[in-house]
Amino acid sequence: MGRNAHIHRQMMLKRRHPDFNGEHQISYRFDFDQCSINLRGRPDAVYREDNFLVVEEIKSVLASAEAFQGYTIENLNNFRTQLDLYLYLLRLQGQDHLRGRLHLINLAESGGDKTLDCAADFERTALLLEAAFSRLLAEIERRRNHYLNLKFVADELQFPFPTFRPQQKRMLEEVSAAAESGGRLMLSAPTGIGKTAGVLFPALKAAFQLDKKIYFATAKTTQRLIVRGLVDRLKLKSAPFSALFLTARAKLCPLEAEVCQWDSCQYICDFEDKMKRFSFIEEMYEGAVFDGENISRRALPVNMCPFAVALALAEYADLVVGDYNYVFDPRIMIRRIFADEGAAKIILIIDEAHNLPDRIRDCYSPEIAYSEVEFLLASLKGKASQWSFHKNAASFLRALVKFFHHLPEAVCPVELSSSDWSDLQAEAETLIMQFNLTPSDISIVKSDPLLKFLNEFIWFAKTAQLGEGMAYLYDNQRRILKALCLDPGLRLKDTMASFHSVIAMSATLAPNEFFAEMLGFYDRASNVNLLNPFPAENRKIRIIPEVSTLYKFRARFVPKIAEVIDRIYAEQPGGYFVFFPSYAYMQETAEWIKSPFLLQQAEMNEASRSDFLAEVAKGGKLFLAVLGGVFAEGVDYPGQLAGVIIVGPGLPLYCLETEMIRDYFDHCYGRGFEYAYVYPGMNRVIQAAGRLIRSETDRGSITLICSRFLQEPYRSLIPRDWYVEEVEELVVKSRN
Ligand code: SF4
């Protein structure tokens, strides 16, 4: 709405003034304190009128009729300063007879527009600029000193452990080379060889030498704790770098608000002034370590939003540790550090990078449920006459209901028109603007379902305009319209290219070519695959091929699989994880198992997960869980397991979505089945097997049950360091 009004005003000026210029660049180079500062800007309109050169800015505002009437050039200080600056720059360029003009458009229900003239105040502008330049140069000087200090310590910084683990030195060299040369490195290294230290330490050194920062992106809080331990160790040796550990907004917001209302939240009021008054930034320059807890402790008593403080500090931290989302999800990406070429100053480390493609797929696969649209429409009944926002929202929702009624009576792919969804996005954005003014005394809304829906809808509409690598499907049984991100690599490509360097690490990124595409590197990444350094005799790996876990043979082989599992347990009792391709398969097999066991539940909260893990620590039974689940990846069982048993190659569920992914990659690379099923499935298998040996002292067996492990394409995905010559060495014949 704002954009249209803006264009409308420009068109009108163009008709009225033949010399109208909407693209006029104004720039001027200042010499200040031995520095050269180039200032430039582009006003919305420049034209001649009555012998004056008029510079006009067009601004949309949301204000009640009364407030809008009261607006003068004096009480719109920011707009006025912008105009003053343009006029001052033109004056320095030698222009005379200048006039500033502010055209205001009210987007609120009451509407209206007004034009305010502004006489140039060159003296005030010169003083403002001088003060701003002084502040800017002081900040540059402070940063320069900080970086010089870091550069100085880069050579002195010692590895935080007394000795290196096997392969760690090679890791250090590879990461240094990639980080320093601006490369993209995919590093596969088995767990237990000190990956976090082996990557973070050389990356920090490279960052200090090159005046760069580091963003360490993780999928899990547990990994953040490991990085915290490392930072504390390095700090013991007085390393002067600052670090920031980000905590989710939902955990930090004292109001538990679903959506921030930046204009009215008491914790954001006078935020910039408070940031200047309190010493957070100074402490960053002195090498502080901040996290959600110590920020909240200090920010809340002075009415500052802890999340906003954390975001502000991200700009100053030498190392930022946080979730993937702050880098890769456009809705919450930290623009102040990544946007406007900011990423070029950052070395990005992606932990457990094999998880990233699925995260991106989730992020770009939003859905709209008919039941929610209906519910929201019903909740507006009776309100529609009260505020025009409600009236407009009801009409928007009614149009959506109509749209759903035209969808096919089937579960099937659907085509969405990009331009239709661009219009719908604009409508939803306008509704949110109107919501902010209705009723006028609304401050923080904890969880308004309509506002939440509109925000989610806008994201859906944006994905509908992405084109390549996206598809849409309608499920008429659940009445859900779903976006489906077919190709996460396409969504990641530009982001990955924008960083100075990227280190993507994981226990396994095999096949490398598949992950290079899924992570958006394509042919830009180099690969380093480190082999397991622990003694081969510590783990007994075997394949039992007499059964098939194919769906069509399930009923036939489930009793036999249970028998094999019971036999392994009887031969060497102890704690075993048994991983299945699905809950259904796990439950069906559990009915035949005679040994003591504990079952992973589909829904487990933090407490029940901890109880489960406590039982694993006690050992002595089978722990039945699913491949790719919370117990199969990213969790350690140090010295607790006698073995890991894996039932089948863990292929994703056969369904319309996976089939659409398969078709897409068949079309792209001619390997749809591998990309949609085999590679993700075998990655889960290798991740799950990796739960067993995490140190030199861990011992146990890894058993793979299914004939497919000996067949292509699964066979060639069995890690090379699991056998000497050929996979068949691992085959164990079952006794009956
Ligand atoms: S700005 Fe306000 S609503 Fe938003 S997270 Fe901070 S305290 Fe919560």
> Where does residue 68 fall: left (phi above 0), alpha (psi -120 to 50 degrees), or beta otherwise?
alpha
**Residue 621 tokens, joined:** 């039974």
| Residue nearest (by alpha carbon) to ligand 1 atom 6 | 305
φ, ψ of residue 643 in degrees (nearest 5): -175, 170
Best mutation site among 255, 272, 446, 448 for ligand 1 pocket (most ligand atoms within 8 Å of CB): 255
pLDDT tens, residue by residue, 348-373: 999 999 999 999 999 999 999 999 99
Q: Which atom of ligand 1 lies at the shortest distance from residue 262's CA?
A: 1
CATH number at residue 253: 3.40.50.300
| Residue nearest (by alpha carbon) to ligand 1 atom 8 | 253
* Ligand 1 center from residue 262 Cα (angstroms): 7
Best mutation site among 246, 265, 309, 436 for ligand 1 pocket (most ligand atoms within 8 Å of CB): 265
* Ligand 1 center from residue 448 Cα (angstroms): 15
**Residue 123 tokens, joined:** 């003296």
* Ligand 1 center from residue 261 Cα (angstroms): 7
**Residue 333 tokens, joined:** 């990406």
Count the domains in the chain: 4
Task: Flag whether pLDDT at 506 surpasses 80.
Answer: yes
Q: Which atom of ligand 1 lies at the shortest distance from residue 261's CA?
A: 3
- In this structure, are 678 and 703 located in the same domain? yes
- Cis? peptide before 18, omega within 30° of 0: no
φ, ψ of residue 655 in degrees (nearest 5): -160, 175
Task: Determine, yes or no, domain membership for 154.
Answer: no
Q: Which atom of ligand 1 lies at the shortest distance from residue 268's CA?
A: 1
What pLDDT, on a 0 to 100 scale, did the predictor assign at position 442? Answer: 42
Q: What value does the mean pLDDT take over residues 692-704? A: 85
Q: C-alpha angle 54/58/60, rounded to 5°?
A: 160
* Ligand 1 center from residue 216 Cα (angstroms): 25
pLDDT tens, residue by residue, 12-37: 999 999 899 988 889 999 998 888 99
- In this structure, are 597 and 615 located in the same domain? yes
Q: Hey, how many other C-beta atoms are within 10 angstroms of the C-beta on 358?
A: 16
Best mutation site among 249, 252, 260 for ligand 1 pocket (most ligand atoms within 8 Å of CB): 260
Task: Determine, yes or no, domain membership for 420.
Answer: yes
pLDDT tens, residue by residue, 553-587: 988 999 999 999 999 999 999 999 999 999 999 99
Burial class (CB in 10 A: 0-12, 13-18, 19+), 434: buried
- DSSP for 673-736 reads HIIIIIHHHHHHHHHHHTTS--STT--EEEEEE-GGGGSTTTGGGS-GGG-SS-GGGGB-----
Task: Flag whether pLDDT at 703 surpasses 90.
Answer: yes
Residues 6+ apart with CB under 8 A from 162: none
Question: Which domain does 306 fall in, by range?
Answer: 178-362+490-529
- In this structure, are 503 and 556 located in the same domain? no
What pLDDT, on a 0 to 100 scale, did the predictor assign at position 307? Answer: 95
- In this structure, are 702 and 558 located in the same domain? yes
From 208, 98, 83, select the one nearest 146 (Cα to Cα): 208
Question: What is the C-alpha separation between 396 and 195, in angstroms, rounded?
Answer: 51
* Ligand 1 center from residue 252 Cα (angstroms): 8
* Ligand 1 center from residue 319 Cα (angstroms): 24
- In this structure, are 573 and 672 located in the same domain? yes
Amino acid 27 reads S
Q: Which atom of ligand 1 lies at the shortest distance from residue 306's CA?
A: 6
Question: What is the C-alpha separation between 637 and 575, in angstroms, rounded?
Answer: 10
| Residue nearest (by alpha carbon) to ligand 1 atom 3 | 260
From 590, 690, 596, select the one nearest 644 (Cα to Cα): 690
* Ligand 1 center from residue 285 Cα (angstroms): 26
* Ligand 1 center from residue 17 Cα (angstroms): 46
Last residue of a domain, one of 481, 498, 529: 529
Tell me which residues have their CB closer than 6 angstroms to ligand 1.
Answer: 249, 253-255, 257, 260, 265, 267-268, 305, 307-308, 444
Distance of CA 39 to the CA centre of its chain: 34
Question: What is the C-alpha separation between 730 and 360, in angstroms, rounded?
Answer: 36
Best mutation site among 247, 262, 268 for ligand 1 pocket (most ligand atoms within 8 Å of CB): 268
Last residue of a domain, one of 77, 110, 132: 132
What pLDDT, on a 0 to 100 scale, did the predictor assign at position 444? Answer: 45
Place of tokens 């955990």: 251
- In this structure, are 555 and 416 located in the same domain? no
Task: Flag whether pLDDT at 447 surpasses 80.
Answer: no
**Residue 197 tokens, joined:** 């230290």
Q: Which atom of ligand 1 lies at the shortest distance from residue 249's CA?
A: 5
pLDDT tens, residue by residue, 262-282: 666 889 888 888 888 888 999
CATH number at residue 16: 3.90.320.10
What value does the CA radius of gyration of the chain take, rounded to a whole number of Å?
30
Task: Flag whether pLDDT at 443 surpasses 80.
Answer: no
* Ligand 1 center from residue 671 Cα (angstroms): 47
Amino acid 43 reads P
* Ligand 1 center from residue 132 Cα (angstroms): 29
Task: Determine, yes or no, domain membership for 588.
Answer: yes
Residue-averaged pLDDT of the chain: 90
Last residue of a domain, one of 529, 545, 580: 529
Q: Hey, how many other C-beta atoms are within 10 angstroms of the C-beta on 101?
A: 22
| Residue nearest (by alpha carbon) to ligand 1 atom 5 | 253
Q: Which atom of ligand 1 lies at the shortest distance from residue 253's CA?
A: 8
Q: Which atom of ligand 1 lies at the shortest distance from residue 265's CA?
A: 2
What pLDDT, on a 0 to 100 scale, did the predictor assign at position 462? Answer: 96
φ, ψ of residue 491 in degrees (nearest 5): -75, -20
What pLDDT, on a 0 to 100 scale, did the predictor assign at position 736? Answer: 46
Q: What value does the mean pLDDT take over residues 582-598? A: 96
Q: Which residues pair with 544 in a beta bridge?
A: 705
Task: Determine, yes or no, domain membership for 478.
Answer: no
Q: What value does the mean pLDDT take over residues 162-170? A: 88
Q: Which atom of ligand 1 lies at the shortest distance from residue 308's CA?
A: 6
From 542, 596, 514, select the one nearest 723 (Cα to Cα): 542
Asked whether the beta carbons of 185 and 502 are under 8 A apart, the reply is: yes
- In this structure, are 49 and 119 located in the same domain? yes
This prediction's pTM: 0.86
Asked whether the beta carbons of 208 and 176 are under 8 A apart, the reply is: no
- DSSP for 386-455 reads T-HHHHHHHHHHHHHHHHHHTS-SSEEEE---HHHHHHHHHHHHHHHHHHTTSSTT----S--HHHHHHH
* Ligand 1 center from residue 305 Cα (angstroms): 6
Best mutation site among 258, 264, 267 for ligand 1 pocket (most ligand atoms within 8 Å of CB): 267
Q: What value does the mean pLDDT take over residues 503-510? A: 94
- In this structure, are 244 and 356 located in the same domain? yes
What pLDDT, on a 0 to 100 scale, did the predictor assign at position 733? Answer: 63
* Ligand 1 center from residue 545 Cα (angstroms): 57
Question: What is the C-alpha separation between 683 and 691, in angstroms, rounded?
Answer: 13
Task: Determine, yes or no, domain membership for 471.
Answer: no
* Ligand 1 center from residue 254 Cα (angstroms): 7
- In this structure, are 237 and 206 located in the same domain? yes
* Least confident range of 33-42, 315-324, 706-715: 33-42
Task: Flag whether pLDDT at 716 surpasses 80.
Answer: yes
* Ligand 1 center from residue 260 Cα (angstroms): 5
From 255, 179, 281, select the one nearest 505 (Cα to Cα): 179
Task: Flag whether pLDDT at 317 surpasses 80.
Answer: yes
Q: Which atom of ligand 1 lies at the shortest distance from residue 256's CA?
A: 8
* Least confident range of 94-108, 205-219, 585-599, 646-660: 94-108
- In this structure, are 394 and 432 located in the same domain? yes
- In this structure, are 596 and 541 located in the same domain? yes
* Ligand 1 center from residue 298 Cα (angstroms): 15
* Ligand 1 center from residue 136 Cα (angstroms): 28
Task: Determine, yes or no, domain membership for 220.
Answer: yes
| Residue nearest (by alpha carbon) to ligand 1 atom 4 | 260
Task: Flag whether pLDDT at 446 surpasses 60.
Answer: no
Task: Determine, yes or no, domain membership for 65.
Answer: yes
Question: What is the C-alpha separation between 369 and 685, in angstroms, rounded?
Answer: 34
- In this structure, are 656 and 575 located in the same domain? yes
Length of the chain: 736
| Residue nearest (by alpha carbon) to ligand 1 atom 2 | 265
Task: Determine, yes or no, domain membership for 414.
Answer: yes
Amino acid 548 reads S
**Residue 465 tokens, joined:** 């305009």
**Residue 309 tokens, joined:** 């403080």
Q: Which atom of ligand 1 lies at the shortest distance from residue 257's CA?
A: 3
* Ligand 1 center from residue 304 Cα (angstroms): 9
